Amino acid sequence: MSLRTLLRHETILALVAVVLLVALAFQSAQFFTGANLLNQGRLMTEVGLVAIIMTFVIITGGIDLSVGSILGLTAILTGVFWQNLGLPLMAAAGLAIAVGTFCGFVNGFVITRFGVPPLIATLATLALYRGLAEGISQARSVRGYPDWFYVLGQGNILGVPTQLWILIAFAILASVLLAATRIGRSIYAIGANEVAAFFSGLPVNRTKIAVYTASGFAAALAGVIFVSRVSTTRSDMGTGLELDAITAVVLGGTSIYGGRGSVIGTLIGLVVIQSLKNGLSLAGIKAEGTAVLIGLMLIGAILMTTAFNKRRA
């Protein structure tokens, strides 16, 4: 992996993002305002948390389709633990996050121990965890949380949405972890060539399990934030979230074959998608039109990565 190619994809994407922001600002006077941008940050936090760890997963050459279901399961469990088991809300949320993290661990365990391809394993748990969420909730929503809980999803700290602070902290931590530690380098090595990594004495299975567990944790944390933002729990929460996250990761230049990618790229990808959705909507374009544009951008991003790879080879 050469640093130069990495920088090039991200630099181009960053330029695209800047051009896009300027263009959208001209399209609609309401777009480039502090209130709107902060609000967009609030709306993209859940996908953002999941996408950051999804970057790790995809760099190892894997994929995690179960994140949306883990989000739904965590949301339901937060409500059930709190209302039906009578736990304090803080403990209920903590316990639910623990279960969500364990779900991620199960993904990693099944993938590494039984050698199931990640696509199949997490496709199975996508159904399994969603089924659990629906079975446990029995279609009943849990509502009426205490006011302090809404600070997390609806409140501000120092004028910035609470969850955006969490996303920022998470992003910094993940960037450092991936770019500047042994674990990060192991992740790249596994994605680039798993067999070589194994024979170089890297803890391949342990690293992969850790990555999927972290993915479960991120989805679970996003679940609790989501509950706080919409003030209710439903078992269908987070449906389709995995696709939004993967879109951001791939748009951000992470190779779906593994071995290449970065957290900063994913973050730029996220910003591009979110500002496109928001800006086009403000400019009066309907949701269908936006979906088409995002699809085209994604194809463009993949063509760009492929072109770079050819030149390098």
**Which residue do the tokens 């509950």 mark?**
227
Comparing CB distances to another protein, the nearer of 287 and 299 is 287
Compute the Cα dihedral for 193, 195, 198, 200 and give only its sign: negative
Nearer to another protein, 148 or 199 (CB): 148
CB of 302 to another protein, least distance (A): 23
User: Residue 38: is it exposed, middle or buried by C-beta count within 10 angstroms (0-12/13-18/19+)?
Assistant: middle
**3-class secondary-structure state, position 238:** coil
Could you tell me the smallest distance in angstroms from the CB atom of residue 191 to another protein? 26
For residue 92, the minimal CB distance to another protein (Å) is 17
Q: Which residues contact 193 (CB under 8 A, 6 or more apart)?
A: 259
Asked if 257 contacts 80 with a C-beta cutoff of 8 angstroms, the reply is: no
- Helix H or strand E segment including 243: helix 241-251
What DSSP designation does 201 have?
A: T
CA dist., res. 80 & res. 233, Å (int): 9
Is 229:42 a contact under the CB 8 Å cutoff?
A: yes
Q: How far is CA 71 from CA 110, 222, 236, 254, 292, in A?
A: 19, 7, 9, 23, 26
> Which residue number, 202 or 225, has a Cβ lying nearer to another protein?
225
Q: Tell the smallest beta-carbon distance from residue 236 to another protein (Å).
A: 6
Nearer to another protein, 291 or 303 (CB): 291
Nearer residue to another protein within complex by CB, 3 or 35 = 35
The residue (of 139 and 313) whose beta carbon lies closer to another protein is 139
Closest separation in Å from C-beta 60 to another protein: 22
Place of tokens 């070589």: 196
CA angle 235-119-173, nearest 5°? 75
Token reading at 200: 């170089």
Rule CB under 8 A: which residues touch another protein?
28, 30-31, 35-36, 39, 43, 106, 109-110, 113-114, 128, 131-132, 134-141, 143, 154, 226, 229-232, 234-237, 239-240, 277-278, 281-282, 284, 286-288
Q: Which is nearer to another protein, 13 or 76 (CB)?
A: 76
**Contact predicate 251/273, CB 8 Å:** yes
User: Are 25 and 35 within 8 A, CB to CB?
Assistant: no
CB of residue 147 vs another protein: minimum separation in angstroms?
A: 12
Closest distance of CB 158 from another protein, Å: 21
Name the minimum Å distance from CB 259 to another protein: 30
178 vs 220, beta carbon nearer another protein: 220
